[in-house]
């Protein structure tokens, strides 16, 4: 198990580290209440007609297995998870799918503590920004599951935002072996209708809860991929994320008192508000959640 921990500086290319930690460094136990045993903070693959709560854990594992298959990461020598959360992908790809080593990068120190506590010797978790990550031995496959939403500052002028996304895809390209695959789940935004409540809610997401994070338009994302990768598949899976938000809201409602005791009324209210906003904006087609499968071009 790796123990690298680097200092992460705020620069225009890196959304404020403190803003990320404001969201991710509340108690791991509160996240456990919300996310349940899988500790996945992204969309899930429910089967038709499956109950949101009862099916939640399996839906998360099903998603991971599908991603691992699409990335051809079974039995791989080395895989990377960018924005790896609580390490469930890293743990699963090594324990269940025969990958020899899995490396995760995150900005959250509490997530690193959690991943270290899993005691998986084939997993290395590093507190560092994706932009600082280098690797002597290149990766066979990479994932970025609902994390790229955090990587580009909304305060940048539009052209520089695309350049930041381009820089991200270029960096992943440089970390992968020649025929490596990169699988991501990523939200994009449609031009939102001009409604007062929606605008207030989007402002809350961007200015308070996820300060400075930029969710791009789909064409900006595609433009940024450029010729670095061949697009094998792009599929809108909005409902995978809206359903997950709904399931997490139910989990939180069930154990609200304990969540408040572990954090505060203010934190719990923030989570209730932002999860509801994501759920309804995904349902209303304001946000998309694309699964994108990429194959590295030479
Ligand atoms: C919504 S969570 C998703 C976690 C995980 N992929 C999952 O599906 O459960 C976003 C993750 O991105 C990480 N993150 C945000 N900005 C980052 C950056 N600049 N470099 C690396 N990780 C970052 C956060 O620390 C967090 O682990």
Give per-residue pLDDT as tens, 131-187.
Answer: 999 999 999 999 999 999 999 988 888 889 999 999 999 999 999 999 999 999 999
**What are the residue ranges spanned by the domains of the chain?**
17-25+36-192+215-240+287-296
Contacts of 171 (CB under 8 A, 6+ apart): 130, 131, 133
Which helix (H) or strand (E) segment is 94 a member of?
A: helix 88-95
Per-residue model confidence (pLDDT) at position 15: 56
Per-residue model confidence (pLDDT) at position 1: 40
Per-residue model confidence (pLDDT) at position 141: 98
Distance 89 CA to ligand 1 centre (A): 12
Distance 28 CA to ligand 1 centre (A): 14
Distance 187 CA to ligand 1 centre (A): 13
Per-residue model confidence (pLDDT) at position 268: 95
**Is the CB of residue 83 below 6 angstroms from any atom belonging to ligand 1?**
yes
Distance 177 CA to ligand 1 centre (A): 23
Stretches in the chain below the pLDDT threshold 50? 1-6, 10, 12-13
Q: Is 39 helix (H, G, I), strand (E, B) or coil?
A: coil
Q: Which of 105, 150, 152, 172 to mutate to test the pocket of ligand 1 (most atoms within 8 A of CB)?
A: 150
Please state, in angstroms and rounded to a whole number, the distance separating the CA atoms of residues 244 and 279: 8
Per-residue model confidence (pLDDT) at position 46: 98
Domain 17-25+36-192+215-240+287-296 top-level CATH class: alpha beta
Per-residue model confidence (pLDDT) at position 206: 80
């Amino acid at each position: 198990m790796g123990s690298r921990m680097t200092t992460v500086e705020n620069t225009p290319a890196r959304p404020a580290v403190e803003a990320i930690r404001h969201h991710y460094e509340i108690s791991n136990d509160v996240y456990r209440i919300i996310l349940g045993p899988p500790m996945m903070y992204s969309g899930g693959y429910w089967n038709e007609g499956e109950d949101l709560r009862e099916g939640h854990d399996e839906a998360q594992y099903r998603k991971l297995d599908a991603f691992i298959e699409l990335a051809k990461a079974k039995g791989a020598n080395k895989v990377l998870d960018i924005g790896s959360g609580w390490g469930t992908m890293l743990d699963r790809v090594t324990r269940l799918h025969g990958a020899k080593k899995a490396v995760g990068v995150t900005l959250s120190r509490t997530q690193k503590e959690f991943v270290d506590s899993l005691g998986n010797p084939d997993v290395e978790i590093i507190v560092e920004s994706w932009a600082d990550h280098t690797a002597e031995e290149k990766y066979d496959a990479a994932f970025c599951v609902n994390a790229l939403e955090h990587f580009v500052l909304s305060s940048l002028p539009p052209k520089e935002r695309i350049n930041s996304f381009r820089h991200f895809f270029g960096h992943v390209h440089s970390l992968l072996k020649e025929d490596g695959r990169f699988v991501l789940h990523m939200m994009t935004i449609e031009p939102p209708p001009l409604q007062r409540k929606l605008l207030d809610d989007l402002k809350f997401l961007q200015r308070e809860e996820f300060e400075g994070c930029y969710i791009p338009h789909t064409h900006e994302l595609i433009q940024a991929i450029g010729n670095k990768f061949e697009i094998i598949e792009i599929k809108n899976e909005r409902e995978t994320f809206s359903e997950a938000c709904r399931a997490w809201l139910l989990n939180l409602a069930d154990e609200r008192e304990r969540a408040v005791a572990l954090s505060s009324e203010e934190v719990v209210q923030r989570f209730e508000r932002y999860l509801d906003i994501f759920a309804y904006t995904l349902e209303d087609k304001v946000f998309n959640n694309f699964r994108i499968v990429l194959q590295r071009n030479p």
